[in-house]
Amino acid sequence: MRQIFLVAFALFYSLNVSAQRDTLPATGKKRLDFAKTYFELGANLLPSFTGKRLSGNELISFKHPETLNTTLYWGGFHFWGHAEFYVSFPLKQFNLKSNDETDVEFTHYTVTGARFLPWAYQEKKLRPYVGIGWSALDFKQVVKPDEDQPKLEKNFTWTADAGILYGYKNFTGRLGVNYYPDNTWNYPISKTEFQKIKTPNFSLQLGLLYAMDLTKDNGDSTINERWNSYPEVSNLGINASSFGDFFAAIGPSVSFSLAESEYNNSEYPYLNKKQASGGYFDIALGYQLNKANMFTAVSFRNPKFEQQAYGTRQTIKKTSVALETAKFLTDYTGFAPFIGLNVAYDHIKYSEITDEGNKKLTFNKIEPGITIGWDIVPGKSEEFLILRTNLRWYPFSSFKVDGKKFNLNQLEYNLIQLVFYPERLLRSKKNIFK
């Protein structure tokens, strides 16, 4: 569900943004050539590995089959072809051999990945790359007929990759290898018994990407010339034509707990010690002070954390409204990072369903937090539609169940938020920027 949610938003955005010039990075280091967007359809081949299960009281080792995992990548070439930044959305897994008794699910999400190209990307040339990524891994053994085994998650693990690219016009082929250094799982084969299982520490990757330029406004060359004339490093609000602008924003988000739960460690050790939410929308209304390089906003989010295994289902529903203020630090060729503070009002509903009974609890909390992120703004304060990435950290987020602490220590990751400035749109229609 998480990957479907994010893929749908990515495709929606791409189909609704005007892409007048579909070319890969040019040789001149101009502001509007700094980055090019791409979509990539890829497949990762994961080797077979050994699983473990109980049959009666006997421990049995068995072979999980090779799998082919299809993936959609959304990213871009940056720094004039010397770097890639991307995220990935798993699509479908194909097991290359069938098994009537067991099955396996292994999912790799790249939350944020970066690759370095020693030689800048050029059409009709082989280009090697190396990279690292902040990844989330899911692993589940399915033992039939119950199929009630836990899905374990590693939401903060580093992966590495390397490979080569070859491009022709807007298309580029990829051949690479992914490396998973953290491949050992302490897997609960029952409520009380755990076994070390090692998933493969590498996979082979094939991909085909299509790149496009979403920054140039070729309907008016004077706009491109003006945007290219901005200094490489400057304040975001330089030459702003207005004091400030209202904005509305929406984008997909995922939340992660950064700390282990004392309650789960004690009562349900076979559940994940740290949790990730499903996908949800971050919806915001705010005002940007253009000349002061700041913005303030009210944001609504409703993450849901849910997991189940061996007859236990645990659900946390959070409805949160945050007031935040952030300051833009600089603008480097259209990349504008910011940092700020926020305070959130959280309404939390906790429920658990077990064979022994059920629990339902409600909490209301005020949580201070830190906001960091960045805008992609090649046109500075002239653009009425921009992309924003937000991360919010709530280090004190927690509640208690039966006197034991359920520590969320929550990090919200708003992958891509579409930010709309209606007043800027009106000014562009009236040619005020010119």
CB atoms near residue 45 (< 10 Å): 17
Q: What is the pLDDT of residue 382?
A: 83
Q: What is the pLDDT of residue 144?
A: 84
Q: What one-letter code names the amino acid at 276?
A: A
Are 369 and 394 within 8 A, CB to CB?
Answer: yes
Buried b (16+ CB within 10 A) or exposed e, 294-324: bbebebebbbebebebbebebebbbebebeb
Contacts of 192 (CB under 8 A, 6+ apart): none
Q: What is the pLDDT of residue 413?
A: 92
List the CATH code of the domain at 231-429: 2.40.160.20
One pLDDT digit (tens) per residue for the chain, 434 residues: 444 444 444 443 443 333 333 334 444 556 555 567 889 999 999 999 999 998 888 899 999 999 999 999 988 888 878 899 998 989 999 988 877 788 899 999 888 899 999 999 888 999 999 999 999 999 999 888 877 899 999 988 999 999 999 999 889 999 999 999 999 999 999 999 999 999 999 999 999 999 876 555 545 666 667 666 778 788 888 888 889 999 999 999 999 999 888 999 999 999 998 889 989 999 999 999 999 999 999 999 999 999 999 999 999 999 999 999 999 999 888 889 999 999 999 999 999 999 888 999 999 999 999 999 999 888 888 889 998 999 999 999 999 999 999 988 999 998 889 999 999 999 888 765 55
Q: What is the pLDDT of residue 283?
A: 97
Q: What is the pLDDT of residue 355?
A: 85
List the CATH code of the domain at 2-212: 2.40.160.20
Residue intervals of the chain classified under CATH 2.40.160.20 are 2-212, 231-429
| Cα separation, 310 vs 318, whole angstroms | 25
| Chain centroid, CA 140 distance in Å | 21
Q: What is the pLDDT of residue 35?
A: 62
| Cα separation, 351 vs 128, whole angstroms | 50
The pLDDT tens digits for 90-142 are 999 998 887 778 889 999 988 889 999 999 988 899 999 999 999 999 999 98
Contacts of 403 (CB under 8 A, 6+ apart): none
Q: What is the pLDDT of residue 294?
A: 96
Q: What is the pLDDT of residue 26?
A: 42
This prediction has a pTM of 0.82
